[in-house]
């Protein structure tokens, strides 16, 4: 019997990759498409038009190995999309997630267009929130704070990539303690703070537990230890009438609403994510 020496097609390679990822992701076919397109240096759309072509030598197997060990797809690819913009991403900085886009929306809705506004982001991470806000409003200046030096450097790279570094001041330190004299008061303070209960760590998927930064996720027995600090200290750094916008976890909205009222905030509201969760809480410093 003559055996064919022709290399497998891209379609067959994609099918085998999909099967290999079936136990580590709910979207094995999509993940495999991203990885194979990345290995080929092409786009997913272009890949899907080439499935009958012979497969050339690629790094696909190595990329599959990483993903099969639960490494987040964003880390394997080295970048991820947020608010339709590409961002460099590397472990252990949090992977930008769709629900955090609502934090950007809340900020852009609050700040008047064509006004010279100032924003402070606490926990800048990859810079996706600050850079996106700056990208959409050229008149806004932003101060981004993070406790991790590596995160500051990653945010700087993303700001340079999107040409907004001239309007983004980066400060290394713990929340408001990182600010310098002359920083603020701000028109808006925004944050996607740690909000996962310590006891929930063991319940998270390996892709989170083994790769993402627990300091950026865990926040005490009720998940609100960092939120409390932000709410208590924010009034001293906000202009009267200024916005405080925070991302929250499931079931935390009512408790944080009470914190905000006790701290003198008014006009407390929320934005629900696509799953219906009260994801973003917004409030204004009383005048």
Q: How is the chain classified by DSSP, letter by letter?
A: -PPP-PPPBHHHHHHHHHHHTTTT-S-HHHHHHHHHHHHHTS-HHHHHT-TTSBPPP-SHHHHHHHHHTT--HHHHHTEEEETTEEEE--TTSPPP-GGGHHHHHHHHHHSPTTS--EEEEES-TTSHHHHHHHHH-TT-EEEEEES-HHHHHHHHHHHHHTT-GGGEEEEESSGGGG--TT---EEEEEE----B-GGGGGGS-HHHHTTS-GGGTB-STTS-HHHHHHHHHGGGGEEEEEEEEEE--TT-HHHHHHHHHHTTEEEEEEEE-TTS-EEEEEEEE--
Which residue, 37, 69, 101, sits at the end of a domain? 69
Query: 85 and 64 in one domain?
Result: no
The pLDDT assigned to 2 comes to 46
The pLDDT assigned to 129 comes to 98
pTM of the model: 0.91
Q: Domain of 170: which CATH number?
A: 3.40.50.150
Which residue, 20, 45, 69, sits at the end of a domain? 69
Inter-helix orientation angle 149-161/128-136, to 10°: 30
Q: Nearest Cα to 126, choosing from 90, 76, 174, 166? A: 90
**Residues near 230 by Cβ (< 8 Å), separated by ≥ 6?**
122, 175, 189, 191, 193, 244, 246
Query: 182 and 140 in one domain?
Result: yes
The pLDDT assigned to 283 comes to 98
Residue 32, token pair as written in the block: 């495999």
Query: 266 and 180 in one domain?
Result: yes
Query: 232 and 141 in one domain?
Result: yes
* 3, pLDDT greater than 60: no
Query: 170 and 191 in one domain?
Result: yes
Query: 188 and 86 in one domain?
Result: yes
Q: Provide the domain limits for residue 42.
A: 10-69
Average pLDDT, the chain: 94
* 19, pLDDT greater than 70: yes
Per the structure, the count of domains in the chain is 2
The pLDDT assigned to 205 comes to 93
The pLDDT assigned to 287 comes to 82
């Amino acid at each position: 019997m003559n055996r064919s020496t022709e290399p497998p097609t891209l379609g067959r390679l994609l099918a085998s990759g999909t099967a290999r990822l079936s136990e580590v992701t709910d979207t094995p076919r999509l993940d495999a498409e991203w990885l194979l397109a990345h290995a080929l240096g092409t786009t997913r759309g272009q890949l899907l038009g080439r499935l009958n072509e012979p497969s050339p030598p690629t790094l696909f197997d190595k990329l599959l190995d990483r993903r099969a060990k639960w490494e987040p797809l964003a880390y394997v690819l080295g970048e991820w999309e947020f608010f339709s913009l590409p961002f460099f991403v590397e472990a252990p900085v949090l992977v930008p997630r769709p629900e955090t886009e609502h934090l950007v929306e809340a900020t852009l809705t609050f700040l008047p267009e064509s006004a010279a506004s100032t924003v402070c982001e606490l926990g800048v991470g990859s810079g996706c929130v600050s850079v996106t806000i700056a990208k959409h409003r050229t008149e806004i200046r932003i101060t981004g704070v993070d406790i991790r030096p590596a995160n500051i450097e990653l945010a700087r790279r993303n700001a340079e990539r999107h040409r907004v570094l001239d309007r983004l001041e980066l400060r290394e330190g713990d929340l408001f303690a990182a600010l310098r004299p002359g920083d603020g008061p701000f028109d808006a303070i925004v944050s996607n703070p740690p909000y996962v209960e310590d006891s929930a760590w063991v319940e998270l998927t390996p892709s989170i537990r083994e790769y993402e930064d627990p300091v950026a996720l865990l926040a005490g027995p009720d998940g609100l230890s960092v939120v409390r600090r932000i709410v208590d200290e924010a009034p001293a750094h906000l202009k009267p009438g200024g916005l405080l916008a925070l991302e929250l976890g499931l079931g935390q909205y009512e408790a944080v609403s009470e914190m905000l009222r006790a701290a003198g905030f008014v006009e407390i509201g929320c934005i629900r994510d696509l799953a219906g969760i009260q994801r973003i809480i917004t409030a204004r410093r009383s005048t």
